Amino acid sequence: MSTKPHVQDRIIQTAKQEFLLHGFKDASLRRIASAVGMTTGAIYTHFAGKQALFDSVVAPVTEKVGDIFSELSKAYYSEDDGVCEITYKKTIEDLTVVYAFIYRNLDLFRILLLGAEGSSHSDFIHVLVNHEVNHTLSYLKRLGMGKKNGMHLDPTVIHTISEGYINALLEPVRHSMSQDEALRNLDFIVTFYTGGWLNVFGKCLSP
């Protein structure tokens, strides 16, 4: 029976700690290989290089975030292609799900947010922001933005607001807060952002 998958798992787990401590830029394949008990050359028999290894380490997050945004977005659309109301309660429920995912993968989020410089995932925060922007624009389109009350929002404005929102939600990761602390902070964040968007969406929904 091949031990290749087992060896790759050991390399990935060791590399995760290396990237967590040193970030992608300063991570050393030599240190990773030494910790695993193999030569640097042997690492290349499993991974094409440091970037490929980094990709494998963070894959449980990078390959899943799009699905999470899609699933949360679906909950706002009814079977008749209508839209569901944004409420404080629903937003709290959605973000509790998001935080559960983040804290199951906390080390990987810290690597992507704080240690991805120099890698192909250095724009991870912008990937999250773009998902949020696309979700928001899709919601606004279904509301009839631009057709009701003559309202219009430039996508740049949506992006600016979304970037602030995503960064606010990720502050607990950057500052090593516990999941309980992060959840306690949700009340203020959700009240602030949901209140603002309800003013916008409410006007779109009015006759």
pLDDT in tens, 76-105: 665 555 556 667 788 888 899 999 999 999
Q: What's residue 45's pLDDT?
A: 94
pLDDT of residue 1 exceeding 50: no
Give pLDDT tens digits for 21-80.
Answer: 999 999 999 999 999 999 999 999 999 999 999 999 999 999 999 899 888 877 766 555
Q: What's residue 207's pLDDT?
A: 42
Own/partner long-range contacts of 61-69 (Cβ < 8 Å, ≥24 apart): 61/105, 61/108, 61/109, 61/112, 62/112, 62/121, 62/124, 62/127, 64/101, 65/127, 65/128, 65/131, 66/131, 68/97, 68/98, 68/101, 69/131, 69/132, 69/134, 69/135
Q: Which CATH homologous superfamily contains domain 1-57? A: Homeodomain-like (1.10.10.60)
User: Which residue ranges make up each domain of the chain?
Assistant: 1-57, 64-205
Please compute the mean of the pLDDT values over residues 168-174 and round it to a whole number: 94
Least confident of 70-74, 113-117, 159-163: 70-74
pTM check: above 0.95: no
